[in-house]
Structures are given as structure tokens and as C-alpha cells.
A and B are shown apart, each in its own frame.
Chain A
Amino acid sequence: MALFINVLTQVCITLVAVCGIYVLTGLTGMFSLGSAAFMAIGAYASGLITIKLGLPVIVSFILAILMAVAIGFIIGLPVVKLRRDYISLVTLGFGESIAQLLIQMNYLTGGANGLLGIPRKVKWPIALASAIVSITLVAMFKRSKYGRQCIAVKSDELAAEAMGINSSRIKMIAFLLSCALTAFAGCLYSFYMGYVDPGIFGWKKSADWVIMVFFGGVNSLTGSIFGATILSALPQFMRSLRDYRYVVYAIMVILIINFKPNGLLGEWELTPTHIKETFKKIKNKFNKNSKES
């Protein structure tokens, strides 16, 4: 049971982060290899604010998220106007420098040993609630004006501009929302684990999240959540195969990209309309089969 609750909490925290990646990658078509760095900012900032200043947890969460958004704004400022390649290159560089920065500022962050002694305030109900809130938020964002604008920018930036969408503004909004969500995941993580070290926030983690989003279906929030749940829960139950995990992931994703480029669920969402359509399809198939026989 303890193992199950541990896995549940970790999956929920990952889900919060993957929601952020979905906004960035799934909706807007931008890739960040520095998302984990924003998670690190959230984790360290919230932990430090609580430990050093003694502020309540909620306040430190809010401050940490604001800080991540502010840094995201500085990073995003030069890149949203450029080709989308730049955002991945710049965020990759950013991630590496944040890792270095955390090691260098060891009087504050504990350097490579990590930051210890964060109160373990986050239990599974909080993590679960946060995941649900984040998913709802992103689902609402997708249905809103902004979400539709994001999708338009993703499919064709020039056409979107011609329709009167300010594409750099909408890219910035998506990027900041994604920063906020990943930072929130970082806050949850540090207050769940009780300590953080800079080693886990490399580009590998960001790449992991992108892979999760693509595994389930890059155009579908349901798919991304589904992919994230499976890919983050499985390795927790098979700890002995840890080293092989990345290889197995990579092979699965390469197969999916080559043969089913829209991911497992494609554009399917868990909404009444889509469920109805799916039922209809199954019914039709069933009817056809029964007629043939």
C-alpha cells in the first residue's frame, strides 16, 4: 500500500508537469528541453523560502511560481519572435546553466549535495488534487480563445497571423503557463520528497516529458495524461529494470512516431462528443460484423 501511494503521488506530480508540457508542445508546437529547469526553480525557490524565511507553504508556492514565470518571461522574450528551433536550443542551454548555478551557489542551495530539510507537507491527497486542478485548468485553456489560438499558431503561423492572431504573444502565454505548471510540479516535488538535488533536473527529464506527451498522442490532452500515467508508473513497479527503462521507452516511441505519428490516442479526447462518436463507431462495426455473419 505504501508503495502504491508513493507511486500515485509521484505520478500525480509528473502529471502536473506534463500538463505544462502539453500546453507548450501539444497545443503550441514548441519544444522545451529546459522545462525541468523550471521545475528546479520551483522546487528550490519554494523550499528556500520556507526554510530560510519561514513563510507558510502556500505563500512560498505562489512566490516560487511567480519567480519561475518571471524568469520564463526573460528567457522567452528573445525567442518567441524567432523560429521554433530557437526555443528548444535556448531552453536546453538554460537548463544546463540552471544546473550549474544550483551547484555553484552552494552557500544557499547546498550545492551538489542538494537542499535538505524541507518540511514534507505534501501528501497524496494534495498531489492528487493538484493534478486534477491542473488537468482541468489545461482542459479549460484548450477550450478557451487562447487554446484555439495556440492550435492555430501550431498548424500555420503565417495563416494565424493573417487571421489577426498575435503569434508571439500567444506563444509567450503558452510558454509562461507551461513554466508556471512545471514550477508548481517542482514545488510539490520538493515538499513531497523533503530534499532536492540538482542532478535530477537535467535535459533528460524534459525529454522524458516530451516523450510521454508524444506516446499518448500529441494532439490530445487525454492521450498525454494517459501516456504520462503509464510511462511514469511502470518503471516504479519494475525497479530492477531501471537502466533498461530509457532504452525500452525510446524504442517504443520510435515505433510510434514511425508508424502511428499521432500517438496512441490521436486526437481523441475524453469528452461526451468523442465518447459518443466512439460508441457509434463500435456499434457500426458490430452491426457490420453481425450482418456479414
Chain B
Amino acid sequence: MSLQILVNGIATGSVYALIAIGFALVFNILKFSNFSYGATMTVSAFTAYFLVASKGYGLVPTLLVSAIAGAVVSLFGEFVGFRRILLNNSPTTYFFVSSITLATLYEGLVTIKVGASFFRYPDFFSVSTLNFAGTVISKSDIIMFIISAIALGILAFIIQKTRIGRALRAVSFDREAAQLMGINSTLIIQITFVLSGIFAGLAGCFLGIKYTLTPTLGSLVVKGFISSVIGGLGSLVGAVVGAMLLGIAEAICLKIFGSGWATIVTFAIMLLFLLVRPQGIAGSNVQEKA
């Protein structure tokens, strides 16, 4: 039974990890919490639904379209919401307002399109669950776990091994110094937004498969935020570890307290965590240099 809980926890955690990573990427580079992230997930999940999944294509095209839609939306957000603020050197608070405004905009647009109705992705698998020695694993969970792992692996490779990744790390460390060293920081920021958008698209699609598609799907982004707070704001490794821990903690709460209370208990865990270890698991606390 405990193995079942662990499996469920890891399955949930791998989706949360995608959310948390996309959020942490942007946080890392611009040092603000991108609240439009959740709505980006919603928009891309719905785009994939209407363009691909409702026409009967399989899982892979849906994921691809969702990821592309996420990248496009994210890039649009960067252009409309953040570019000018960045160039004006406005205070970080404007990024914040811009991001929640964008979130309102996206969610409003989705609401206009679909109303308050529910949608479901068609079942992508003929056999939905597998059974290993008493542990039931749904097939979609395995696929999600594998795809999340691959995506995270590719991201780690890009960040650690390629020129773009090095530039990205430089910009996130000190934007002005990086600019002076000849790095086109605007381009790097755009690339970051595209990467973050791809993760938003994947996460949105997975959430749509796991739950139902509604215009408020994006509010699940809270889980990603909590994961990154637990893991340490701005740390990519921390975000993944935090997401896994959150997924498992939630599965345990689900078993003990029932579904409604899980959200509340995880919030309490986060609050406790902030009191005891505010810098998060990874310990890379981004403090304002002032």
C-alpha cells in the first residue's frame, strides 16, 4: 500500500516538476515571479485540445502542439508585457503587475472561447492501467513521468553543456555584466521565455489529461510555486526536488485526510518550511542585492 502511495506521489510530482521548472527558469533570469505562467498552461492546453486532440490525433501531436503554443504565448507575453519594462529599468513590481495582467488576459480570452464548460482529452491509451504486484499504475502516469524526465534531462543538458546555456547562466547571474561581455541578453531572455513556455505547454497538457480542462486549470500553478518555495526560489534542481517531495506529501495527505484537505495541509507544510528553512532545500536564496 505504501508503495502505491509513493508511485502516485511520484506521478503527481513529475507534473509539478514541469510547472516548477518553467516558473523557476524565468524567476532565475528576471528575478520576479511570473504569475502569467498558469494561464499560459491553460491557453496551450486548450489550443492543443481544439487543434489536435478533438480531431482524434494521438498523444504525441497533442503534446507537440501544446508545447509550441506555450512557447508562442510565452514569447508574446515577453514582448507585450516585459520588454519595455526591462528596457526602462522599471522596478520589479511592474513585472509582477504585468504578469498578473497577462494572466487575467489569457484566462479572459479562454473564458470567452469556452465559457465555463468542462472538456476532456480523449483517452490516448486503450489499456489505461498496469498492475505490478498489487500496485496499480496508470499508463498515462508512466508516460508523463518518462516525458518529464526526458524534458528535464534535455533542459539540464542545454543549461550545463551548450553555449546558450552558459549565456543563460551568465545573464541570470548578472545581466549587465553579461551584456558587457557581448551576450545579447534580450535574445537570451527570449530563449528563456520560449523554454519556460515549452514547459508550460507540456505541463498544461498533462494537467488536462490528469484532470479536466477548464479555464481555471491554470490555478494548479500554485503547486509549482509551492514546490519552488520548498526547493528554494530560483534553483532549478531545488524546484524538481521540491516538486517530488510535494507530490509525495500530497499523496500521503490524500490517504490520511482525504482529497479536500490535501491542499490545506500542503500549504501548512510550506508555511512551516518557510519558518524553519526559508532558503529552501537547495539553499540558494536569491536575496535582493539592493
- By a beta-carbon cutoff of 8 Å, the part of chain A in contact with chain B is 25, 29, 31, 33, 74-75, 77-79, 81-86, 88-90, 92-94, 96-97, 100-101, 103-104, 156-159, 202-204, 207-208, 210-211, 214, 218, 243-247, 249-251, 253-254, 257-259, 261
Tell me if B274 and A254 are in contact (CB < 8 A): no
Count of CB-CB pairs between chains A and B under 8 Å? 140
Kindly report which residue of chain A lies nearest to residue B273, judged by CB atoms. A78
B63-71, B97-105, B134-142: which lies at the A interface?
B97-105
B104/A93 in contact, CB under 8 A: no
Are B97 and A214 within 8 A (Cβ)? yes
Select from chain B the residue with minimum beta-carbon distance to A103.
Answer: B260
Instruction: Judge whether B286 and A83 touch: CB under 8 Å.
Output: yes
Q: Tell yes or no: B252 within 8 A of A by CB.
A: no
Majority SS at the chain B contact face:
helix
| Given the contacts A89-B225, A254-B98, A261-B88, A246 and B267 also touching, CB distance less than 8 Å | no
**Interface check B162, CB cutoff 8 A:** no
Is A96 a contact of B97 with CB atoms below 8 Å? Answer: no
- On chain A, the residues within 8 Å of B285 by CB distance are 83
A-chain residues with CB within 8 Å of residue B263 when the two chains form the complex: 96-97, 100
| Cβ contacts under 8 Å, B271 to chain A | 74-75, 78, 90
Is B267 within 8 A of A89, CB to CB?
no
B93 near A29 with CB under 8 A, answer yes
B219 on the A face (CB < 8 A): yes
Q: Does B205 contact A (CB under 8 A)?
A: no
Q: List 8 A-B contacts (CB under 8 A).
A: A31-B93, A78-B278, A83-B286, A86-B274, A93-B270, A96-B267, A246-B104, A250-B104
The 6 closest A-B pairs by CB, nearest first: A246-B108, A250-B105, A158-B290, A78-B274, A247-B108, A104-B260
Residue among B35, B85, B93, B285 with the most chain A CB within 10 A? B93
Q: How far is the CA of A210 from the CA of B188 in the complex (A)?
A: 30
Report A-chain residues with C-beta under 8 Å of the C-beta of B84: 258-259
Give the chain A neighbours of B267 by CB distance below 8 A: 93-94, 96-97
Q: Name the residue on A nearest B31 (C-beta).
A: A85
Quick one: given A96-B267, A258-B85, are A204 and B274 in contact (CB under 8 Å)? no
Contact B81 A254 (CB under 8 A): yes
Question: A74–B109 Cα gap in the complex (Å)?
Answer: 36
Residue B160 CB within 8 A of the other chain: no
Q: How far is the CB of A179 from chain B (nearest CB, A)?
A: 16
Closest to A82 in B: B278
Q: A89-B225, A207-B104 are in contact. Are A257 and B97 (CB under 8 A)?
A: yes
The reply to whether B219 and A96 contact each other, CB–CB distance below 8 Å, is yes
Q: Do B80 and A257 touch (CB < 8 A)?
A: no
The answer to whether A243 touches B104 (Cβ under 8 A) is no
Cross-interface CB contact of A85 among B33, B85, B216, cutoff 8 Å = B33
Q: A96 and B222 in contact (CB under 8 A), knowing A78-B271, A211-B101?
A: yes
Query: Which of A96, A208, A218 has its CB near the most chain B CB atoms (within 10 A)?
Result: A96
Residues of A within 8 A of B288 (CB): 83, 157-158
Q: Cβ of A78 and Cβ of B97 under 8 Å apart?
A: no
* Closest residue on chain B to residue A85 by CB atoms: B33
| A207 vs B100: C-alpha distance when bound (angstroms) | 7
Say how far B114's CB is from chain A's closest CB, in angstroms.
11
B101 touches A88 (CB 8 A): no
**Complex Cα spacing A31 to B269, Å:** 22
Q: How far is the CA of A204 from the CA of B112 in the complex (A)?
A: 16
Interface centre among A82, A103, A156 (most CB of B within 10 A): A82
The verdict on B275 contacting chain A, using a C-beta distance below 8 Å, is yes
Is the beta-carbon distance between A93 and B97 smaller than 8 angstroms? no
Bound-state CA distance A94–B269 (Å) is 12
